[in-house]
């Protein structure tokens, strides 16, 4: 093959190689995030020792399975659209949480309400850490919002402010944080995971609580598109 055809073939090969390398890096980064979460949970289990219940371990494993499924869905998206540079959260999170609601992790005790503004798109590199953050936040709400077993509502939403900041929110209608709880420093392994993922995203974590429920927000700066 010579001339312009050979040149075009060479360029095509270079593009394919670059895309494969980028996919490799993204898979590596995604697995590194999941691995870091597993290590945090391992330390928690070791510290708890005999105090941790079988049910707690099952919940952790189910939540971990949901996170791995989310990573799998993201990389399936990448393989189907390798040139994609951003993701619309309405489509992506709708798929992720549609599966979550149908799993053992999400009990019939709760109803999930989702609302995503049409302009909530983020860069590909932010999709996995944000998704892991939201799965952790929702599973925390399932576990702690209504410990007496009454029916509850969890809301998941996203909007883009006029200044370009994307705000993604998980809110429940439960009992709120314990008295004197500081979300910046307190909490178990779940809140450590949340704070670590916010740092990964270079975002801002806003957590508020009233007797009418907990509201967790992550604010992503203007460049998130």
Model pLDDT for residues 56-80, shown as the tens digit of each residue: 788 888 888 888 888 888 778 777 7
Model pLDDT for residues 165-200, shown as the tens digit of each residue: 999 999 999 999 998 899 989 988 889 989 999 999
CATH of the domain at 180: 3.30.565.10
| Domain residue limits at 137 | 3-220
- Please report whether residue 225 resides in a domain: no
Q: How far is CA 188 from CA 44, 70, 119, 218, in A?
A: 8, 23, 34, 19
Please state, in angstroms and rounded to a whole number, the distance separating the CA atoms of residues 85 and 42. 34
- Please report whether residue 15 resides in a domain: yes
- Please report whether residue 133 resides in a domain: yes
For residue 114, the cross-strand partners are: 156
pTM of the model: 0.82
- Please report whether residue 26 resides in a domain: yes
What angle do the packed helices 189-200 and 124-144 form, to 10 degrees? 160
- Please report whether residue 100 resides in a domain: yes
Specify the number of domains making up the chain: 1
């Amino acid at each position: 093959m010579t001339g312009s055809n050979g040149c075009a073939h060479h360029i095509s090969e270079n593009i394919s190689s670059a895309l494969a390398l980028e996919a490799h890096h993204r898979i590596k980064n995604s697995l590194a995030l999941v691995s870091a979460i597993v290590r945090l949970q391992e330390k928690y289990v070791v510290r708890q020792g005999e105090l941790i219940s079988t049910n707690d371990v099952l919940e952790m494993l189910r939540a971990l399975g949901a996170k791995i499924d989310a990573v799998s869905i993201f990389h399936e998206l990448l393989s189907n659209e390798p040139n994609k540079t951003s993701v619309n959260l309405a489509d992506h999170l709708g798929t992720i949480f549609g599966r979550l609601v149908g799993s053992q992790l999400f009990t019939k005790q709760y109803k999930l309400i989702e609302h995503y503004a049409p302009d909530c798109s983020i860069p590909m590199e932010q999709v996995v850490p944000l998704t892991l953050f939201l799965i952790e936040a929702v599973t925390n709400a399932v576990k702690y919002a209504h410990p007496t077993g009454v029916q509850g509502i969890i809301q998941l939403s996203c909007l883009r402010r006029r200044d370009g900041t994307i705000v993604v929110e998980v809110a429940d209608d439960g009992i709120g944080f314990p008295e004197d709880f500081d979300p910046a420093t307190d909490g178990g392994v779940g809140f450590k995971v949340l704070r670590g993922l916010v740092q990964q995203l270079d975002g801002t974590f806003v957590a508020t609580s009233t007797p009418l429920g907990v509201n967790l927000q992550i604010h992503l700066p203007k460049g998130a598109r």
